[in-house]
Amino acid sequence: MELPGFPVYLQLSEKEFKNRIEKLYRILNACTLCGHKCEVNRHYNRGICNSGMNLKISSVFPHFGEERPLVGTHGSGTIFLSNCNCKCVFCQNFGISHLGEGDMISEEEIASKMIYLQDIGCHNINWVSPTHFAPQLVKALFIAREKGLRTPVVYNTGGYDSPGLIKILAGIIDIYMPDIKYGNNKNAFKYSGVKNYWDIVRVSVKEMYSQVGDLIVDDFGIAKRGLIIRHLVLPNDIAGSSEVLKFIADEISKDSYVNIMKQYTPYFKASNYKELMLGITMQEYLRVLNRAKELGLTRAN
Ligand code: SF4
């Protein structure tokens, strides 16, 4: 299937691409890339994400454990960034996301890694937790485009991106894959240390949807463009799943591709919270799936 203007970043003029990079780097002088709005100058200081100016990554590999439309036959070309702006107490990647394990890398080097992932046949370039490094990644994408990158980018985020950041990414990203972790601000703060999460994620996901629409796949089921939403069901309805699904059905689209995830495991500091100590029950999971059906979501599974 031919999708006009695919990947979308190929359509951006050199001048406009450079203009976006400049805008993004300017934000780093008083960083407001995400909802924390630390306003630190990233040249000299670090905010809650503990990241400076240099990109830091943990791994680059073809991932076969992502959603089926991303994995296809050759995998999703994953670039796992170190550090994170969310501080989930149950984080399964806490070494990378909380402790910052990984290596510094230049924009030029990461551009070459994107080309490598394309060369080995990956169906997309999957930036995992990109928010705090969005300027550097977009600059790397510009360099990779010059070197012949023609593979769509997946912006795979925890959903705590400032809406202003997402607006600047219009015409650069083909596939947005945000988590919607919680359906209320209170639990988001208590368990992930993020203020006003529910307010911010709703505006950002609406902006993502306005740019790319519902997920489009080709004849082989491979994602070409659109929105994929992830929602991890937490025990004792800590995630506010019903509110999350209602928002998607009422304010995004009933045809949204939604991955309702049941693999919650009490990693990291979860054992400090008795309500998070155990995994979810099958009944809890089925209740969320049924709610999605009741709300008329056609691609939730
Ligand atoms: S990305 Fe977010 S957490 Fe990191 S410095 Fe900027 S505003 Fe703060």
Q: Is residue 1 part of a domain?
A: no
- 205 near 161, Cβ under 8 Å? no
Confidence of residue 5 (pLDDT cuts 50, 70, 90): confident
Asked if the structure places residue 173 within a domain, the reply is yes
Contact 247/183 with Cβ under 8 angstroms?
yes
Q: What is the mean pLDDT of residues 125-147?
A: 98
Residue burial 2-21, b: 16+ Cβ < 10 Å; e: rest: eeeebbbbeebeeeebeebb
- Mind listing the pLDDT tens digit for each residue in 62-94? 999 999 999 999 999 999 999 999 999 999 999
**Segment 225-245, tens digit of pLDDT:** 999 999 999 999 999 999 999
Mean pLDDT (whole number) for 184-213: 98
CA distance from start to end of the chain: 25
Mean pLDDT of the chain: 97
Structural domain contains residue 33: yes
Question: Taking a C-beta distance cutoff of 8 angstroms, is the pair 99, 56 a contact?
Answer: no
Decide if 2 is inside a domain: no
Query: For the chain, what is the domain count?
Result: 1
What SS3 state is found at 101? coil
pLDDT at 294 over 70: yes
Q: Please determine, for residue 2, whether its predicted confidence score (pLDDT) is greater than 70.
A: no
60 Cα: distance to centroid of ligand 1 (angstroms): 23
pLDDT score of 73: 97
Length of the chain: 301
Residue nearest to atom 5 of ligand 1 (CA): 47
Give me the phi and psi of 189, to 5 degrees please. -75, -45
Q: Is 85's C-beta closer than 6 angstroms to any atom of ligand 1? A: yes
- Looking at residue 3, its pLDDT comes to 76
Beta bridge partners, 257, equal 228, 299
- Residue 102 pLDDT > 70: yes
Probe residue for ligand 1, chosen from 28, 33, 53 as the CB with the greatest number of ligand atoms within 8 Å: 33
Comparing C-alpha atoms, which of 93, 94, 163, 95 is closest to residue 131?
A: 163
Task: Report CA(270)–ligand 1 centroid distance (Å).
Answer: 24
Give me the domain span that covers residue 232: 8-300
CATH code of the domain covering residue 285: 3.20.20.70
- Kindly tell me the number of DSSP H helices and DSSP E strands found in the chain: 10, 10
* CB 200 near ligand 1, within 6 Å: no
pLDDT interval class at 6 (50, 70, 90): confident
Q: Is 32 in the pocket of ligand 1 (CB under 6 A)?
A: yes
Domain assignment present for residue 129? The answer is: yes
Q: Does 128 map to a domain?
A: yes
Q: What mean pLDDT comes out for the span 187-192?
A: 98
Q: Kindly list the distances between the CA atom of residue 171 and the CA atoms of 9, 149, 191, 210, in Å, as whole numbers in the listed order.
A: 6, 15, 33, 11
Q: Indicate the DSSP class of residue 145.
A: H
Kindly state the average pLDDT of the residues 15-26: 98
Atom 6 (ligand 1) nearest CA: 31
For ligand 1, is residue 84 a contact (CB within 6 Å)? no
For residue 3, report the distance from its CA to the centre of ligand 1, in Å: 35
Q: 3 lies in a domain?
A: no
Mean pLDDT score, 216-233 = 97
Residue 217 pLDDT more than 80?
yes
Could you tell me if residue 84 is inside a domain?
yes
Q: What is the pLDDT of residue 1?
A: 59
**Spatial separation of the C-alpha atoms in residues 23 and 33, rounded to whole Å:** 11
Give 43 Cα–ligand 1 centroid separation in angstroms.
Answer: 13
